Amino acid sequence: MRNVLIIAGKEIRSYFNSTIAYIFMVVFLVLTALLFFELQKFFVIGQATLRDFFGLVPIVMLFFVPAISMRMWAEERKLGTLETLMTLPLRDGEVVLGKFLAGLAFLLITLALTFPLPVIVSALGNPDSGALFCGYLGLVLLGASYLAIGLWISSLTENQIVAFVTAAVACLILFIIGVDVFLTAVPSWLVPFLKGIALGSRFSSIERGVIDLRDIVYYLSIIGFFLFLNMRSVELRKGA
Amino acid sequence: MIEVVSLSKRFGATVALEDVSFQVAAGEVLGFLGPNGAGKTTAMRIITCYIPQDGGAVRVGGLDTAERSVEVRRKIGYLPESAPLYHDMGVREYLGFVGRVRRIEPPLLGQRLEEMIEICGLKRMQHRLIGTLSKGYRQRVGLAQTLIHDPEVLILDEPTSGLDPNQIAEIRDLIKRIGREKTIILSTHILPEVEATCSRVIIINEGRIVASGTPRELTSRSQGAPRVYLTVEGAAAADVEPALRESGLGQEVRLIEALDGRARFALGCEAADPEAQLFRLAVRQGWTLTELKRETVSLEQVFTRLTTRETAES
Ligand SMILES: Nc1ncnc2c1ncn2[C@@H]1O[C@H](COP(=O)(O)OP(=O)(O)OP(=O)(O)O)[C@@H](O)[C@H]1O
Ligand SMILES: [Mg+2]
């Protein structure tokens, strides 16, 4: 665990030493706020709800999270630092987990900074701390799943742009197959299956305030599964 | 300390290493020599547990690299080729990170950091981002990183590449100094470096060991019988030549030039130490020797001979 934290610390530090971290964060926050207020105009003042906010952020996160994860392995491979890193006395799993935690910390900080938006909305309407809590819980679980997927994809290439695009598309597909609009367009026998694996449908129900243990277990297993793949790919591709 | 037993590794169709075996005793400095693509880096990567081998085994301090990988890595300090480092970390920050992973605890960690910065000459650069350093300074940071936990075993892949002559001399001194207590494997293309730092040399070509021994052994072995050049004054060349033949030193006597009462000869000697006998001969004959020089084979020539012949054959 100690090693995991050391790796996470190193990732976070080198992230904040480069301006890129701040740029991503600012772009994410500005984009979210702009889109949110656009929605509000669209619905006439005061009509946009918490629901709209929690519907919007997962979409913006589709781009934001792969942007965080894209460099995490790809850059190590590009610079050759993977060799120095993986010949330190660390287990593969510790390094993978450390990188994941660093990304998660960055995600949590950024999500925390969006907090004023829903608060403004609920102050105008009826403040509902339960809904806020559920919404953020859903966002964290969803974002962490995106992150695990993006991190794994980053370990497969040394090109950050490729990692970004692939991860964004992968997350988009996994998100969209659970959205109602999409589900009405596919054969009905597919629906339960798609709903089962989709990232989006579970999010909707958590965000609506239905915290089902199965949904949480689902997200945790998605995260675990992709972190496991990540360990395998690091192990196999170290020397390549 | 390091045992490598019939190691082999291929990358697709390329054979990077084929049945490579050698041992390095504690306190030895072993030099890896070989042309580009010989397999030096590959061998080092396997020893440092970065990539797995296809066949054979490596043991470091008695521990198998495949089974006790983390423990083996704890013993080793590894400087990869061209010292890859994080560009967006500071020098101190990076060394601190490596130190913590190496389990150096805080009071000692700060002390080790200062020592490394001192030894590797990084004082002026310690607060810079690594990405803004020149190649030579990055190499020094890389070296500091390999030394920070005072490892028993050092694996250095071309440690002096990219350095200026002064820095090269410094790093060589450093390697010699720390090499007294440590086991070191270093690879290089610079032959004088091997002669200056290594107690033993292995020459690798196309994934195979083609020669090994001390630098002296290698040069004398491929030298065969010594050839001596001598210039004699105060005697006619026609008299000197038969006298040399009769001396029993060697039959291959060749007159190179005869000018103004001076004659220069090349003598292929059978005796291992012909100089003393030649002096005595000159005294007996009343010659004045103005030159007596043994032709030496440099490690460079050995290297060229071993690595080009092999390539031509295959
Ligand atoms: N990851 C890899 N994938 C494919 N081939 C590789 C890989 N790494 C090394 N090789 C091949 O293995 C052989 C040995 O390479 P290696 O890097 O060990 O040589 P080297 O002796 O270190 O050479 P140099 O002096 O240029 O550093 C070369 O033919 C090289 O092309
Ligand atoms: Mg090499």
Same domain, B160 and B243: no
Beta-carbon separation of B89 and A81 below 8 A: no
When scoring A12, A84, A158 by the number of chain B Cβ atoms within 10 A, the one with the most, hence best to mutate, is: A84
Q: What is the pLDDT of residue B90?
A: 93
Question: Which tens digit of pLDDT belongs to each residue from B264-291?
Answer: 888 877 776 778 888 888 888 888 888 8
**Residues 6+ positions from B280 with CB-CB distance below 8 Å:** none
Least confident of A83-87, A180-184, B102-106, B117-121: A180-184
Please, which pLDDT band fits residue B19 given cuts at 50, 70 and 90?
very high
Q: What is the pLDDT of residue B245?
A: 82
**Mean pLDDT, residues B99-127 taken together:** 91
Tokens 């000459």, located at residue: B121
Q: How far is the CA of B10 from the centre of ligand 1 (A)?
A: 10
Question: Which tens digit of pLDDT belongs to each residue from A79-126?
Answer: 999 999 999 999 999 999 999 999 999 999 999 999 888 877 766 666
**Mean pLDDT, residues A13-27 taken together:** 88
The set of protein residues with a Cβ atom below 6 angstroms from ligand 1 is A 239-240; B 11, 14, 16, 34, 36-42, 81
Measured between beta carbons, the chain A residues lying within 8 angstroms of B70 are 89-91
d(CA B210, CA B218): 11
Same domain, B212 and B278: no
Q: Indicate which atom in ligand 1 lies nearest the CA of residue B38.
A: 21
Delimit the domains of chain A by residue range.
2-239
Q: What is the pLDDT of residue B289?
A: 86
CB proximity B87 to A under 8 Å:
yes
pLDDT at position B142 over 90: yes
Give Dmax (Cα) for chain A.
59
Q: What is the pLDDT of residue B30?
A: 93
Q: What is the pLDDT of residue A124?
A: 65
Same domain, B112 and B259: no
- Average pLDDT score, chain B: 86
Q: Indicate which atom in ligand 1 lies nearest the CA of residue B204.
A: 21
Beta-carbon separation of A238 and B73 below 8 A: no
Beta-carbon separation of A87 and B48 below 8 A: yes
Domain extent, residue B23, equals 2-221
CB proximity A129 to B under 8 Å:
no
Please, which pLDDT band fits residue B312 given cuts at 50, 70 and 90?
very low
The CA-atom distances, in angstroms, between A23 and each of A41, A71, B58, B178 are 27, 14, 47, 45
Question: How many residue pairs from chains A and B have C-beta atoms closer than 8 A?
Answer: 70
Same domain, B81 and B164: yes
Q: Is the dihedral of CA B299, B301, B303, B305 positive or negative?
A: negative
Amino acid (one-letter) located at B32? F
Same domain, B161 and B280: no
Q: What is the pLDDT of residue A237?
A: 66
pLDDT at position A195 over 80: no
d(CA A223, CA B281): 88
Please, which pLDDT band fits residue B74 given cuts at 50, 70 and 90?
very high
pLDDT at position A54 over 70: yes
Tokens of B83: 């010292």
Look up the CATH number of the domain holding residue B143.
3.40.50.300
Among the partner residues B70, B80, B93, nearest to A84 by beta-carbon distance: B80
Same domain, B197 and B69: yes
In a domain, B313, yes or no: no
**Mean pLDDT, residues B238-244 taken together:** 83
Tokens 């306190």, located at residue: B27
In a domain, B276, yes or no: yes
Q: Which of residues 177-236 of A touch B (CB under 8 A)?
A: none
When scoring B60, B70, B86 by the number of chain A Cβ atoms within 10 A, the one with the most, hence best to mutate, is: B86
Question: Which tens digit of pLDDT belongs to each residue from B256-269?
Answer: 888 877 888 888 77
pLDDT at position B314 over 50: no
Measured between beta carbons, the chain A residues lying within 8 angstroms of B101 are 3, 6-7, 88-90
Q: What is the pLDDT of residue B211?
A: 85
In a domain, B309, yes or no: no
Question: Which tens digit of pLDDT belongs to each residue from B166-205?
Answer: 888 888 888 888 878 899 999 988 777 888 888 899 999 8
Q: What is the pLDDT of residue A39?
A: 74
CB proximity B106 to A under 8 Å:
no
| Structural domains of chain B, count | 2
Look up the CATH number of the domain holding residue B286.
3.30.70.120
pLDDT at position B92 over 90: yes
pLDDT at position B313 over 70: no
Please, which pLDDT band fits residue A240 given cuts at 50, 70 and 90?
low
Residue in B closest to A17 by C-alpha: B88
Same domain, B102 and B187: yes
In a domain, B214, yes or no: yes
In a domain, B307, yes or no: no
